[in-house]
Amino acid sequence: MTLPAIPDPIIAVRQLLLSDEILMGTVQGVHAYQLPQAAPEPAVVLWAISATADDVLEGSPIGVDFATIQIDVHGPQRDVTRKASRQIRNVLTGFRGISATCYIKCLQQGSGISDLADRVSTGSDQARCITTQDFVCTFDSINNYPSTA
């Protein structure tokens, strides 16, 4: 298997979520960087909220990068968004391996699950729920594959 030269942890995490049958039975889609207008809900949105450059050891990059990924679940009811968020936590926590474009060394939950409410429109009593959590992804930015040594 040949992987692209540039690893993207957002694409890798999105691929992991799309491959989970339980999650995909709960949500209508998994999106990177934005929730498309009029997207069916419940829906998952992934955001890269921080990243680090290559760590360097004696002047040479060692290929270890970190990214903090915020994962939001948008939906009409809190119980649905929380159910999806718990399944996301089950799928991602402790994952190590190749997914899509990069070799993930470790995925760990960085924050607990938080609930937010957002008004649908001005003058409306309707609210939609957003459940959010953060994950820290450690990945190999040079090799993109596990060492066989």
Q: If you write DSSP's letter for every residue of 40-76 in order, what string do you get?
A: -SSEEEEEEEEE-PPPEETTEE--EEEEEEEEEEEES
**d(C-alpha 142, C-alpha 7), whole Å:** 8
Please give the structure tokens belonging to residue 61. Answer: 């990059």
Express each pLDDT in 127-145 by its tens digit.
Answer: 678 999 999 998 886 665 5
Which DSSP letter does residue 141 get? Answer: S
Express each pLDDT in 55-92 by its tens digit.
Answer: 555 555 556 678 899 999 999 888 999 999 999 999 99
Lowest mean pLDDT among 14-18, 53-57, 94-98, 133-137: 53-57
Using CA atoms, how far residue 96 sits from 27, 69, 80, 99, in Å, is 24, 16, 27, 9
Mean pLDDT across the chain, nearest whole number?
81
